[in-house]
Amino acid sequence: MQRPAAGAPKSAWTDPDCPVARTLDLVGDRWSLLVIRDAMDGARSFTEFRRRTGIARNILTDRLRKLTDHGLLVQRTAPSGRRMEYALTGPGRDLFPVLVTLRQWGERHAFNPGEPHSTLVDQYGTPVPDIAPTGADGTLLDVDTTHVQKVQ
């Protein structure tokens, strides 16, 4: 994943010491996360990303370049040998639990009761259980039981 060059001003990051801010600098816009979502769902070609998202060509070109430059996607020759395709890298695949958590939040809070929506299921068709952070002892963690500790 590309980072600001050594000696680059810290202002190259929104908040250089915060992992959340740095992550949002990389994937914090709507289109980037939708491209990652669709790559996780099997999209590979520019045309397929565009069809699935409805994104304008210039914006899609920019997001694919940015995601590739930051090491979340890799561009390679498609098996047909005639076109280029995009595939998730390890860091891109590591966003899976992030997208699952966003999806689950959306299922709870972005729809009216009874309003139809998609659901993520496992290979057997069973809905994926809610993701919840737990401590080393297995207890559920939340905003009241955690805090940020600066590393020196």
pLDDT tens-digit readout, 74-130: 999 998 888 999 999 999 999 999 999 999 999 999 999 999 999 999 999 999 999
- What is the rounded distance in angstroms from the CA atom of residue 92 to the CA atom of residue 108? 25
The model's pTM is 0.85
Contact 77, 84 (CB under 8 A): yes
Domains belonging to the chain, first-starting first, are 10-91 (1.10.10.10)
Contact 52, 31 (CB under 8 A): no
Reduced to 3 states (helix: H, G, I; strand: E, B; else coil), residue 127 is strand
Give the containing element (helix H, strand E) for 65.
helix 57-69
